[in-house]
Amino acid sequence: MKLKKKYKSIFFAILGLTILLTSCNKDDVKEVTAADEVVGLQKIDTLIKGNYTFYIYKKDTGNLVVGYNEVYIQLKNNVTGKYVEDATLSWKPLMHMTSMSHACPYSTINKVADTKTLYKGYFIFIMASSDMEYWEVTYDYTSGKDTLAEVTNRPTVVQSTGKIRYKSFKGVDNTSYFLALVNPTSPKVGTNDITAYLYKKVDMLTFSPAQNYTVEIDPRMPDMDNHTSPSNVNLTYDSTTGLYKGKLNLTMTGYWKINLIVRDASNTIQKGDSITSTTTASSIYFELEF
Amino acid sequence: MIKTALCTGCCFGLNFLAIAQNKADSIKSRELKEVVVTGKTGLDSINESKPLSSIDEHLQKLSNVNLIKRGGYAWEPTINNMATERISVTIDGMKIFCACTDRMDPVTSYVEILNLDNIHVGSGLAGNLHSTNSIGGGLDLKLQKAGFHAQKLNVTLNSAYETNGNYRIIGSGLAYSSLKFYTNAGIFYRKSDDYKAGDNSTVNFSQFEKLNMFTNFGYRLSAQKSIEGTVIYDVASNVGYPALTMDVKSAKGLITSLSYRQENISEVFFNWETKLYFNNIIHVMDDTKRPNVAMHMDMPGKSRTGGYYSTLNGRLGKHNFVISHDSYYNQSSAEMTMYPKDAANKPMFMYTWPDIRTFNTGLTLDDRYIIDLKNTLQLTTKTSFQRDGVESTFGYNTLQMYYPDMTQYQNRGLWSVSGKYTHYLQDIQLKAGVGYGTRAPSPTEAYGFYLYNSFDNYEYIGDPQLKNESSVEGNIAFALTKPTYSISLDGSYFYFSNYIIGKPNTSLSTMTIGASGVKVYQNLNHATIFNANLNTKYIFLKYFHWLNHLGYSQGQDNKNNPLPLIAPFSYSTSLDYVNKKFSAGVDLQGATKQVNYSAEYGEDLTPAYFIVNTSVGYDFIFGHVAPTVKIGIENVLDRKYSTYADWNNIPRKGRNVYINLKINL
Ligand SMILES: [Cu+2]
Ligand SMILES: [Cu+2]
C-alpha cells in the first residue's frame, strides 16, 4: 500500500517534470544575437580604436544627406569579442571649411529600446561635403571620467536628390532655423503621424531646439489644382522627445507639397506663406511622393 | 400638406395603356396594368411603330418614366422623377447594380429588347415586390420564356437601319418549346456612329457598339416541378458620352440565374419559385480619344452581385398573397489613377468606390384582398436588414480623414408598408393608395469619394453616417373606359424626410481642375415630389386611334427650391391608323419651358420644344415567311432641341429615317 503510493507519487513527479520540460522546450526563445539586431540596417563605417570597434549603420543605402539622418552604432570589445551593452556614447560633428568650421544640430546617443547592443542618434547636416570642405564626426566611448575610446571619421554628406525633407531659413528675428522632416518615411493614404525637428543656431558650434513653436502644414497637390486634404493638425512641440508632432492627411497617392509656416512661441510668423489662389506654394515646404 | 396634395392629385390620372382595355371583364384584367409589351416573339408588331428600338426608347413612351441622357446609349431611367438611387431596376427579379460611378451604365443597358417579354413598371413604394431600397418605383425586366407548350420552333431575323448616325442593328432570336423542355436564345448587335442634331451638326462622341447574347432554358422535372436558367452576356464597347468628360472603352455584363419552380403545391399555395443568381459587371472608362484632356485618368469599376429569392404565391378565400424572402450581397468597387502632366511625378491613385460591400436580406408580404366584385384592397410590406461598409483598408483610411469616428461596417434596418384600395363602378375605376418606406443611402451617397459631376461642376463625397431616407406616399387614380374612348388621370405625392442630396462644403478642396467646389451628401429635413398624368384615347372611324398625354411634375427641397431633374409640363398627341396588316401614325411630342429648374444643381432654363414623328408599317406574307417592315421618320422637322433630362444640354437627334425589318422563319 505504502509502496504503491510511493510509486504513484514518483510517477506523477516524472509526469510533471516531463510536462514542465516539454513546455520549457516549446517556449524556448532563440537568443537574439548582435547580428540579429542590425538586420535591415546598412553598415556605413567600421572604426577600430584600441580594444574597441565602432560599427556605424544607417537604415537605407547611399550616403548621408543634408537634413535628417538617423545613425545606429554597435560597439564591440575586441578583447572579449562581445558587444558592449551599457556603453555611454557621445559624438560631435564638425564641418571643416576653407575659412572656418561649424557644427550642425545633432542628438545625444541613446540605446534603442528592446535591444541589447544597438545605439541610436541623429544628425541634421546643414551642408554637403566636398573635396575641400568635409564633415568630421568624433565618436566617444566613456566610462565615468575615462575616455575608453575616441575615433573620428569623415563621412560623405551629399545634397539629397530625392524629395525635399529639410529646409533651413532665416526667420524674421534674423535667427537661422533648421527644420527637418522625420516622419512619415513611407506615407500612406489616410491620416499619417508627421514629426519634425526644429533647431536654431546659437553660434557656429551651438544649435539648440526651438521650443514651443508651431509648424503649420498645408498639404497640396500641385498636379490637382492645388487640392488639399481636410483636418490636418499642425505640428506642436513635444518637450519629452524634442519632436514637433502633428497629423497629416493625404487623400491619394502621388506627389504632395507640404507647405509650411513656422510660428514662434509668441505666434509670430518667422517664415512661410499661406496658400491662396495666387500664392500656390509657401517659401518653405516639404515634399512627399508615394 | 399631404392632404392638399392628395386633393390636387384627384385632378390627374393614371397612365393608360392599350393592352389593358381588351379584356375588360374579369376583375383581374380590369386592373390597370402598368406593363409594356415589348419585342416578344409573338410581338404585336402592328402596334409597335419601331419594334427594334432600344429598351430606352421603349421606356420613354411611358408616362411615369423619363430618361436622363448623357449620349446616344445607356440612358438612365427615372420613375416619378426619381433616378437610380431611389428606384429599383431588376431583371426577372434579380438585383443588379451599376459598375459606373458616373452613371454610364444603368441596369437597363445590359439587356436587349429581344431578350424581353415585357417590362413591368411599378410606380411608388408598392412598385415591385423584388425591390429593395426603392421609393420612386421599380422596373422589372421580364425575360422571354418560350414555356412548356406543344412542340414548336420559332426563329426570327431582325435588322434595322437608321440614317442618323448610320445606325445598324442586326439580330436573331430562337424560341423552342416542348412539353418537357424549352429554350430561348438570341444574339443581337447594334452599332452607331455619332448622331447629328437638328441643325445637321455632329454630336461628337455619341457613337456606340453593343453585342448581346442571351439564352434562357427550362426543363420540366415532373408535372409540377421545373428548373429554369438564364445566361446573358452583354458587351458595349467604344461608347461615347458627349455630355461627360469621358467615354467607355468597354462595359461587360454577365448575368446568370438558376431557379426551381413548383406549381400547384396545395389548395392554398399554387406557385413557389426559388432563384439563385449571380452577375458580374466590369466597366472601363476611357479619356484617350478626347482632345485637350487636362489629365489622363484610368477609371475602372466593377460590381458583382450574388443573391437569391424564394417567392411563394397563394390564395386563401378572397386573399391572394405573396410571401417572398430575398438576400443579396454586392461588391461595388471603383478606382481612379491620374497621370500628371509632369511625367516625372508618380501617378495618383485613389478609390472612388472603396470596395463597398452591401448585404441585404428581407421579407416581403403582399396580400390582395378581393372584398367583393367592386372592391379590392392590397397591402404590401417589406422589412429588411442591411449591413454595408468598405472592405478596403485603403478606402477606410481615406474616409476616416473626413469622418474620424466612422465604423468600417454598419447595420441598417429598412421598412416599408403600403396599401392600395381599388373601387370599380361600371366603366370607372378608382384607386387610392398610401405608403411609407425607407431606403439606405446608395454606395455613392454613403461611400463615394470625389465623384465629379459634370452637370453642376461639383465633386461629390459620400457620408457613411447618413440617416436612412424615408418617404410618405399618397397616390390616386381615376380611369373611365368606354368602347370607343377612355380617359385616365393619376397623381402621386411623395413627402420625404431625411432626403439625401449633396450640399456644398466650402471647407473641402476640389481635385478636378476647374471644379466649382465639393458637395457632401446630406439629409435634408424634407423634400417633396408630385407627379400627375392625364391620358386619353379615342377610337374613331374604326381604324383611327387618337392618344393624348399630359404630364406635370414638381419637386421641392426643404426651402421650396426646385429639386434637380424634375420634368416640366410635357405633352404628346398621336394619331394612328391601324388596319390589319397596315399601320401608319404621326405623333407630336413636346414640353413647355422648364421654369422650375435648379441652378444649384447645374440646371438652366430649358426652352420649350416640340417634335413630330411619323411611321408606316406593313406585314407581308411570302409563303410561310412573314416579314414585317416598319418605316418611319423621327423628328421630321429636324428640330434642334434638348430636354430637361439631357445632361449638359446635349442636343437630341435631328431628323432620322429608320427601317425595321423582321422575318419570322
Ligand atoms: Cu559648412
Ligand atoms: Cu463610367
Q: Where among A129, A158, A187 does a domain terminate?
A: A158
Per residue in B108-131, pLDDT tens?
A: 999 998 888 888 889 999 877 888
Ligand nearest to the CA of residue A102, numbered in listed order: 1
CA distances from A136 to A43, A153, A201 (A): 18, 6, 19
Mean pLDDT of chain B: 89
pLDDT of residue A8: 58
Report the CATH number that the domain containing residue A260 is assigned in CATH. 2.60.40
Q: What is the pLDDT of residue A6?
A: 56
Q: How confident is the model at residue A87 (pLDDT cuts 50, 70, 90)?
A: confident
Same domain, A43 and A139: yes
Same domain, A261 and A174: yes
Listing DSSP states for A149-194 in one string gives: EEEEE---EE---SS--EEEEE-TTS-EEEEEEEE-SS--SEEEEE
Instruction: Answer whether A223 sits within 8 Å of B342, measured CB to CB.
Output: yes
pLDDT at B97: 96
The shortest C-alpha distance from A163 to chain B (Å) reads 11
A120 plus A220 within the same structural domain: no
Asked if residue A198 and residue A139 are part of one domain, the reply reads: no
Q: Establish whether the linkage from the previous residue to A184 is cis, with ω within 30° of 0.
A: yes
- What one-character DSSP code corresponds to residue A83? B
Q: Is the pLDDT of residue B30 over 70?
A: no
Q: Is residue A139 in some structural domain?
A: yes
Continuous segment of H or E residues that includes residue A12: helix A2-27
For the cut 70, the answer to whether the pLDDT of residue B273 exceeds it is yes
* Domain of residue A247, residue span: 166-289
Residue A10 inside a domain? The answer is no
Grid coordinates of B516: 466649382
Report the largest interatomic distance among the alpha carbons of chain A, rounded to a whole angstrom. 101
- For residues B493 and B529, is the Cβ–Cβ distance under 8 A? yes
Distance of CA B13 to the CA centre of its chain: 21
Which residues of chain A are within 8 Å of residue B516 when distances are taken between CB atoms?
none
pLDDT, residue A7, reads 58
First-to-final CA distance of chain A: 78
Return the ligand number nearest the Cα of B452.
Answer: 2
Instruction: Please say if the pLDDT value at position B35 is more than 50.
Output: no
The C-alpha of B522 sits at a distance from chain A's nearest C-alpha, in angstroms, of 18
Task: Report if residue A43 sits inside a domain.
Answer: yes
Phi, psi of A204 (to 5 degrees): -55, -30
In B505-543 the beta strands, taken as DSSP E runs, fall at: 517-540
Percentage of chain B exceeding pLDDT 70: 93
Q: Which CATH number fits the domain that encloses residue A128?
A: 2.60.40.10
- With cut-offs at 50, 70 and 90, classify the pLDDT of residue B33: very low
Q: How far apart are CA A204 and CA B589, in angstroms?
A: 86
Question: What is the residue type of A141?
Answer: Y
Domain edge (last residue) among A98, A124, A158: A158
Question: Same domain, yes or no, for A133 and A179?
Answer: no
Report whether B68 contacts B75 (CB < 8 A).
yes
Does residue A199 lie in a domain region?
Answer: yes
Q: Is residue A1 part of a domain?
A: no
Residues belonging to chain B with any Cβ–Cβ distance to chain A shorter than 8 Å: 295, 338, 340-342, 345-350, 394, 396-398, 400-402, 404, 450, 507-515
Give the Cα separation of A20 and B131 in Å (integer).
64
Closest CA to B345 of A5, A254, A265: A254
Partners of A287 in beta bridges: A257
Ramachandran angles phi, psi of B648, nearest 5°: 55, 30
Q: Residue A281 in 3-state DSSP?
A: coil
The secondary structure of residue A231, as a DSSP letter, is: -
Closest-CA distance, B394 to chain A, in angstroms, reads: 7
Do A177 and A267 have their domain in common?
A: yes
Whether A189 sits inside 8 A of B398 (CB atoms) is yes
Q: Is residue A77 part of a domain?
A: yes
Q: How far apart are CA B558 and CA B527, in angstroms?
A: 5
Per-residue pLDDT tens digits for B525-577: 999 999 999 999 999 998 999 999 999 999 999 999 999 999 999 999 999 99
pLDDT tens-digit profile of B585-600?
Answer: 999 999 999 988 998 8
| Gap between the Cα atoms of A101 and A90, Å rounded | 20
A182 and A224 in a single domain? The answer is yes
Pick the more confident residue, B116 or B447.
B447
Alpha helices by DSSP H, listed for B413-559, are 443-447
What does the pLDDT read at residue B51? Answer: 83
- Asked if A254 lies within 8 A of B295 by C-beta distance, the reply is no
C-alpha grid cell, residue A148: 575608453
Is A111 found in the same domain as A94? yes
Which of B398, B403, B408, B458 is best to mutate for the A interface (most A CBs within 10 A)? B398
Among candidates B242, B308, B238, B299, which has minimal Cα distance to B275?
B308
Give pLDDT, residue B28.
30
Q: What is the pTM of this model?
A: 0.87
Residue with cell 429598351: B55
Distance A200 CA to ligand 2 centre (A): 53
Does any domain span residue A108? Answer: yes
- How close is the Cα of A238 to the center of ligand 1, in Å? 29
Q: Is residue A196 part of a domain?
A: yes
Residue B404 with chain A: CB contacts under 8 Å: 231
Give the count of domains, chain A: 2
CA distances B496 to A232, B21, B82, B597, B598, Å, are 36, 34, 12, 19, 18
| A249 contacts on B by Cβ (under 8 Å) | 401
C-alpha cell at B322: 405573396
Size (chain A), residues: 290
Domains of chain B: 2-664 (2.40.170.20)
Contact partners, residue B647, CB within 8 Å, separation at least 6: B68, B69, B70, B243, B244, B454, B455
DSSP-assigned beta bridge partners for residue B489: B478, B534
Which H or E element spans position A108?
none
Q: pLDDT of A28-82, one tens digit each?
A: 556 778 888 999 999 999 999 889 999 999 998 889 999 999 999 999 999 999 9
- CB B64 within 8 Å of CB B74: no
Same domain (yes/no): A173, A153 = no
With contact defined as beta carbons under 8 Å apart, do A246 and A217 qualify? yes
* CA of residue B250 relative to chain centroid, distance: 21
Same-domain pairing of A205 and A229: yes
Query: What cell does A183 get?
Result: 516622419
- Same-domain status, A138 and A185: no
Task: Give B345-356 pLDDT, tens digit per residue.
Answer: 999 999 999 999
Do A138 and A249 have their domain in common? no
Q: What distance in angstroms lies between residue B637's CA and the mean position of ligand 1's atoms?
A: 82
Confidence check: pLDDT of B9 > 50:
no
Chain B residues inside the 8 Å CB shell of A227 = 509-511
Chains A and B form CB pairs within 8 A to the count of 82
Is residue B243 over pLDDT 60?
A: yes
- Write the burial class of residue A241 (CB in 10 Å: 0-12 exposed, 13-18 middle, 19+ buried): exposed
CA atoms within 13 A on the CB side of B96: 32
State chain A's mean pLDDT as an integer: 89
Task: Centre a 10 Å sphere on the Cβ of residue A142 and count the other Cβ atoms it contains.
Answer: 14
Cβ pair B186, B173 in contact under 8 A: yes
Domain ends where: A125, A158, A191?
A158
Distance CA B410, CA B360 (A): 12
Question: Taking residues B12-27, what's their average pLDDT?
Answer: 30
What is the 3 state secondary structure string of B188-228?
A: EEEEECCCECCCCCECCCCCEEEEEEEEEEEEECCCCEEEE
